[in-house]
Structure 1
Amino acid sequence: MKTPVIAPSILSSDFARLKEEVDEVIRAGCDWIHIDVMDGHFVPNLTLGPPIVKALRRHVEATLDVHLMVECPERWIPAFVDAGADILTVHYEATPHVHRALQMIREAGLKAGLALNPGTPPDGLSYLVSDVDLVLVMTVNPGYGGQSLIPSTLAKVAEVRRMLDDAGRQDVHVEVDGGIHAGTIRRARSAGADVFVAGSAVFDELDRAKAIEALRRALDS
């Protein structure tokens, strides 16, 4: 099983001091920085765009894991490539041309992720298994932070991991996003996840190093 990756989501950070917040969680020992991009159409919220990614890229060496919760992500991929993202994840449900979107990301030299909403079965992954570097299983309905993990999504995590392993794609990350904290992270790990997006579990705590260490302790328990 892959080494666990802790990826705090800046959706839960204080945007007025974003650079300081990101610097703090990096010093605290996180592995990636997760950036949730929402367009107000695919999900009922509006958040961050390429300028934020570009601004962070100038100051941050950590992996920038950009999650595009947007309709027709093909329109936005070039801008986020230029902004300096390391990983771009698009939703299976967001475009009829998801294969092309994944190709665009990989052709630009980035890692390509495929996200699945809670109600989306993983069947389509079987046709895309050669085109992904990461599969993001949403463990809540996307659009807002602070939600509780949907227990049934953990069975999907296990199914996705089996599909990847059966296809010889042990190199592909399985990421979970939503309701991840010290009380749920171990179950997600046991199901087969290796990248853990944690928003409020990290940024709502005053001591970010202690918060991240609590997640790692829970993984080892």
Structure 2
Amino acid sequence: MAKKENWIAPSILSADFAQLGTDVKDVIAAGADVVHFDVMDNHYVPNLTIGPLVCESLKNFMVKEDVKAPIDVHLMVKPVDRLIGDFASAGADIITFHPEASEHIDRSLQLIKAEGCQAGLVFNPGTSLSYLEHVMDKIDMILIMSVNPGFGGQAFIPQALEKLKAARKMIDESGRDIRLEIDGGVKVENIAEVAAAGCDTFVSGSGIFGKANASDANRYDTVIQQMRDELAKA
């Protein structure tokens, strides 16, 4: 099965929350494809971020401003089932979660699909891909963490490339329409190598938002074009 079109997914964890709507509008206008929305609960991971109300506000802003991009909600919370409906109602298009955060992975995936969202599993650096073996029929997205979850701005863990290759093999052998995403330490300098390992969806927080000049109306154009240029080499 051929690899899908590349998506660049800026993580709003690194955006300016005082002007979140504007940052999202500008980064999508600059050529990004997906809004990556990181949810942390200070329980499953040692940090606390944002919840369904922020997601709903952002979705309403995007509709009002005619910003067309899916919201990809990455739930780093435990237990996960309680929040699935809340984020679906708040405007999530894709919801991914960690298998360790669910008592019944198949049921959690079914909950997401029943809400009309795409569903996915997220794999930490030390988590086996074996969780996928019996649920590939309910998966739209596989997200490989190339850092340990909890904080933005961490360095890329090279072993993630081998896990990407293994996940790509599973997707190809399944013949299913599944995206392969990576999150953590992705930047212009390594995005081609990540793509060559089979990835098609690239989450980048500080690699995009951290490169911008806040006073420049076109502040994200350069870094996103540089990423596209590197992806064209992969």
Q: Distance in 1 between matches of 2:167 and 2:151?
A: 24
| Structure 2 equivalent of residue 120 of structure 1 | 127
> Equivalents in 2 of 1:96, 1:187: separation in Å?
35
Give ranges in structure 1 of 5+ residues lacking alignment: none
Provide the residue aligned with 2:61 in structure 1. 59
Question: Does the CA contact (< 8 Å) of 1:38 and 1:48 recur in 2?
Answer: yes
Question: Counterpart of 1:33?
Answer: 35
Residues 64-213 of structure 1: pairs in structure 2 closer than 5 A = 64-169=71-176, 171-205=177-211, 206=213, 207-213=219-225
Task: State yes or no: 1:18 paired with 2:20.
Answer: yes
Q: Residues 93 and 116 of structure 1 are in contact (CA less than 8 Å); yes or no, is this contact kept in structure 2?
A: no
Structure 1 residue 95: Cα displacement: 1.5
Retained in 2: the 8 A contact 1:9–1:34? yes
Letter of the structure 2 residue corresponding to residue 180 of structure 1: V
How far 1:75 sits from its partner (Å)?
0.6
- Aligned-pair distance for 1:198? 0.6
Provide the secondary structure at the position in 2 that maps to 1:45.
coil
One-letter amino acid matched to 1:220: A
Q: Secondary structure at the residue paired with 1:141? A: coil
Matched residue SS, 2:112: helix
Shift of 1:96: 2.0
| Equivalent-residue separation in structure 1 for 2:221 and 2:104 (angstroms) | 41
Distance, in Å, in 2 between the alignment partners of 1:204 and 1:124 is 34
Does the Cα contact within 8 Å between 1:118 and 1:139 map onto a contact in 2?
yes
Match in the other structure for 1:2: 4
Inter-partner Cα distance in structure 1 for 2:133 and 2:107: 16
The letter for the 1-side match of 2:232 is D
C-alpha separation in 2, matches of 1:203 and 1:75? 31
TM-score (norm. length: structure 2): 0.92
1:59 counterpart SS class: helix
Q: Shift of residue 72 of structure 1?
A: 1.1
**In structure 1, C-alpha distance between the alignment counterparts of 2:196 and 2:99, rounded to whole Å:** 24
**Quick one: distance in 1 between partners of 2:124 and 2:223?**
27
Across the two proteins, how many residue pairs are aligned to each other?
Answer: 220
Q: Alpha-carbon deviations, 1:134-155, whole Å to 9, x = none? A: 0000011001111111001110
- For 2:162 and 2:22, the matched residues in 1 are separated by 37
What is the TM-score when the length of structure 1 is the normalising length? 0.97
Q: Give the Cα separation in 1 of the matches to 2:131 and 2:72.
A: 23
1:85-140: CA deviation from partner (whole Å, max 9, x where unpaired):
00000111111211111100011111001101110111121111111000000011
Task: Give how far 1:4 is off.
Answer: 0.3
State the Cα RMSD in Å.
0.8
Name the SS for the 2:138 alignment partner.
coil
| Percent of aligned pairs with the same amino acid | 46
Instruction: Work out the CA distance in 2 between the residues paired with 1:33 and 1:54.
Output: 13
- For 2:28 and 2:228, the matched residues in 1 are separated by 15
Runs of 4+ in 1 over 6 A off after TM superposition: none
Q: In the alignment, residue 135 of structure 1 is paired with which amino acid?
A: I
